[in-house]
Structure 1
Amino acid sequence: MRADVIRFDLPDPGDVSALAGAIDAGRVDPGRIVAIIGKTHGNGLVNDYTRGYLTQSLLKLLAARTGEAEAGLQARIPMVFSGGVEGVLSPHFIVFAVHDDEDAPTEPGLAVATAMTPPLGPEDLGRQRQIDLTAAAVEEAMARADIHSPDDVHFVQVKGPAFAQADLAGAADGLASDDPGKLMGFCRAASAIGVARALGEVPAAEANEAAVLRDFSVRSNVASCSAGLEVSCNEVIVIGMAPGWSGPLAIAHAPMADALDVAAVHHALAGVGLAAAPQLAAGDAARLRAVFVKGEAARSGLIRGRGHTMLNDGDIDQQRHIRAALGAVVAATLGETQLFVSGGAEHQGPAGGGLVAVIAERT
């Protein structure tokens, strides 16, 4: 098997002409697409409809090019979109395609596989059922990718559901929160703990709902979890390295201690054979296929002992603050602005920090 990763410009959520052109030119086989991840122009909060707009645009394109019904495509292709391209960040989307390869691999290659949980209701978010189902989906995706060791998993993207206030008003009792925004946080947190359980990053007994948004020592260093109105289950994408996969691509990751942890970015780059001194050379930056960054505004209100105001700003949501800050730090190191930078890192990487993962062409 061989995984291909292609990044496309996104002028607006309705403009997927770059992918259409690649399909028409024969550079992308639409029938081989297994997942799409991207950053859209919206605010990344509950009322961000740009994510669903891009999903709709891509489904219509792929249905037209493959002849497959949109419902069927949506059922098998995770489309994980995060709103918010604050500061220097640029909207884009990344297509993952998997091909048969007759050449025997000489070394482990980039491996990608997906799985989806059953539908989740508002009452499931932040609860044990979401943790357990997410863990099972991660294990299923690992098996599909033929990744046998959790150490070979470098990035797990999860997109779970969110609900508007009207949906919560008619929901069953026992919600983790009746605030739509806070419920998104519970969704992300439980999803991350599910990933940690599946990969053995924490003992199974500790991967329980009692830890959700309480015990931040229970975490995954490879999970990137989001939530949105446009999905109804947890969509899971597992990316790693495996012996049965060929091709020129590799992935590496590193946990980030805080928003200023440039050393973690350098560590992830080194894992794919790149070095920034202090910034990637243009030729090396051209080898980047995808960069994923997850971070949060430290709950302590401090970054390296100095106070920050991101959690107290009544005008700008703290997720928008941290995306802009992290985006600037990582973009300056890489010389690249098409970065998947996502806020809301509950149980994803060290508390107050996050993680970075890089996919690049090997030399």
Structure 2
Amino acid sequence: MIRRAAVHRVAMRHPGDVAAIEALFDAGVPDPRDVVAILGKTEGNGCVNDFTRAFAVQSLTQMLAVRLGTAPAEVAHRVAMVMSGGTEGGLSPHFLVFSVGRTDAAANPAGALAIATAFTRDFAPEEIGRMAQVEATAEAIRAAASGMAEIHYVQIKCPLLTTERIAEAASRGATVATHDTYASMGLSRGASALGVALALGEVARDALADAAIGSDTALYSGRAGTSAGVELMRNEIILFGMSPDWAGDLVIAHDVMADAIDLPAVQRALRAAGLDAGGGQLPDAEQARLVAVLAKAEPSSDGRIRGARHIMNEDSDINATRHARALVGGVIAAATGRTALFVSGGAEHQGPDGGGPVAVIARRADL
């Protein structure tokens, strides 16, 4: 028997609403024992104090513990959970449930979606946003990537610094990368993304150093999506790729948006996954085959989009990443005809400055 990946997208009424996932389990697809990862877009602010992410993880963990007949701590060891806060604009809160089962069907020689998960050790506060996080992430990815012919996207949930964590490090005489808790989110995302770049050969090891993290925008991965949260101290990693040794009708493809309005990059990713909008929005039949879109959003540091000034970095009322999520979410929604999109803000070292990777999971038309 060989492995086959499945992806289910369900809506949520609030961050703790797991009823739609329970309905899937009640229907027998998927078997909760086969679930390897859950991604969620929650309606919080996506910042340090966004506890919608922790609320969703807690709710999912408790539900899975009951379904699996195990302790909540065991769930954390077997299921990677990546909650991304912020559904600004028209983005719709939703969960993506990823499972891996076994089948008697033949492997797809053209390649099928393959999924692997990995977990780093817990980081000390002084390691967050520094090379220790980069190297531990790269090591975990290399170990998990065995047998995956092509890796198209690596989704990571990473930790951030809080005042309490900073104080704990200071009590031991350790210094942290920053005392700004919000800035720590970007450094953690950036270090995690550079770990992807290092593991996938996109950046050379000798180009990396603590000082480059969060500052050298020329260093980036075109296949990393990282999201920081207060609810963990390790990196939880999900690899999405293609393999001729897996069965199924799901495929994944990716591209890189050069800036926040790079619609052609989104359309290239859709076409690479076998979907054709004919230059416009996906028609109904193509939308039915679209399973998920994963993307990153980041305001350009120079305050410009194709020469025109934007104020995302200067708005004291609304955080810049919230603006970016709404903007990129709107561009992708227009291309796909869908608002349940996993658009995550904060793209440090994830694509070029002001841009970011976009990945598409779809069903083949010929299967």
What is the letter of the counterpart of residue 159 of structure 1? K
AA in 2 matched with 1:228: G
Match in the other structure for 2:240: 239
Aligned partner letter, 1:6? H
Is residue 133 from structure 1 mapped to residue 136 from structure 2 by the alignment? yes
Amino acid at match of 1:125: I
Write out per-residue CA displacement over residues 285-315 of structure 1, whole angstroms, 9 at most, x where no aligned residue: 1211110110200001100001000000000
| 8 Å contact kept, 2:128–2:161 | no
- Work out whether 1:220 is the aligned partner of 2:240: no
CA distance in 1 between partners of 2:140 and 2:134 (Å): 10
- State the distance in 1 between where 2:209 and 2:247 align: 37
Counterpart residue number, 1:210:
211
The amino acid across from 2:31 in the alignment is D
In the other structure, the counterpart of 2:113 is 110
Q: Distance in 2 between matches of 1:106 and 1:233?
A: 34
Question: Residue 287 of structure 2 corresponds to which residue in structure 1?
Answer: 285
- Match for residue 298 of structure 1? 300
Of 160, 163, 166 in structure 1, the residue corresponding to residue 164 of structure 2 is 166
Deviation of 1:137 after TM superposition, in Å, equals: 1.0
For 1:359 and 1:106, the matched residues in 2 are separated by: 16
Give the whole-Å Cα distance in 2 for the aligned partners of 1:55 and 1:123.
25
Residues of 1 paired with 2:84 and 2:235: CA distance?
14
Aligned position for 1:272 = 273
Partner of 1:351, secondary structure, is coil
Deviations 1:6-46 (A, max 9, x none): 11111111211111111011121000000011100100000
Greater Cα shift, 256-265 or 162-171:
162-171
Aligned to 1:182: 183
The runs of 5 or more residues in structure 2 that have no matched partner are: none
Q: Which runs of 5+ in 1 are unaligned?
A: none
Residue 170 of structure 1 deviates from its aligned partner by: 2.8
CA RMSD for the aligned pairs? 1.0
Residue aligned with 2:23, SS: helix
Deviations 1:211-264 (A, max 9, x none): 211211111000001110111101110000011111000000001100010000
3-state SS, counterpart of residue 170 of structure 1: helix
Letter matched to residue 357 of structure 1: A
What percent of counterpart residues are identical? 49
**Structure 1 counterpart of 2:50, one-letter code:** D
Q: 1:44 aligns with which of 31, 43, 46?
A: 46
Q: Helix, strand or coil: the match of 2:169? A: coil
Task: Please tell me whether the aligned partners of residues 198 and 204 of structure 2 are also in contact (alpha carbons under 8 angstroms).
Answer: yes
1:131·1:209 contact (CA, 8 Å) conserved in 2? no
SS at match of 2:296: strand
Shift of 1:158: 0.8
d(CA) in 1 for partners of 2:305, 2:331: 14
Once residues 52 and 137 of structure 2 are traced to their aligned partners in structure 1, the CA distance between those partners, rounded to angstroms, is: 25
Partner of 1:355: 357
User: TM-score scaled to structure 2, two decimals?
Assistant: 0.96
Answer whether contact 2:177 2:184 (CA < 8 A) is retained. yes
Question: What is the match of residue 60 of structure 2?
Answer: 58
Kindly provide the amino acid, as one letter, of the partner of residue 75 in structure 1. H
Render the CA deviation track for 1:151-207: whole Å, top value 9, x for unaligned: x11100011112322322232332110111001111001101110000001112113
The amino acid across from 1:162 in the alignment is L
Is the 1:131–1:208 contact (alpha carbons within 8 Å) kept by the matching residues of 2?
no
Task: Indicate conservation of the 8 Å contact 1:155/1:239, yes or no.
Answer: yes
Secondary structure in structure 1 of the residue aligned to 2:55:
helix
Contact 1:33–1:98 (CA<8 Å) still a contact in 2? yes
Q: CA deviation at 1:358?
A: 0.4
| TM-score (ref. length: structure 1) | 0.97
Equivalent residue number for residue 153 of structure 1: 151
Measure, in 1, the Cα distance between the counterparts of 2:104 and 2:205: 39
**CA shift in 2, pair 1:243/1:207, >3 Å:** farther
Q: Comparing 102-111 with 258-267, which one deviates more in the overlay?
A: 102-111
Is the Cα–Cα contact under 8 Å of residues 155 and 357 in structure 1 kept in the other structure?
Answer: yes
* Alpha-carbon distance in structure 2 between the residues aligned to 1:22 and 1:340: 20
The one-letter amino acid paired with 1:110 is L
**In structure 2, distance between residues paired with 1:80 and 1:228:** 9
Which secondary structure does the structure 1 equivalent of 2:47 belong to?
Answer: coil
Say if 1:123 and 1:171, in contact at 8 Å, map to a contact too.
yes
Aligned pairs (5 A) from 1:54-93 = 54-93=56-95
Q: CA deviation at 1:124?
A: 0.6
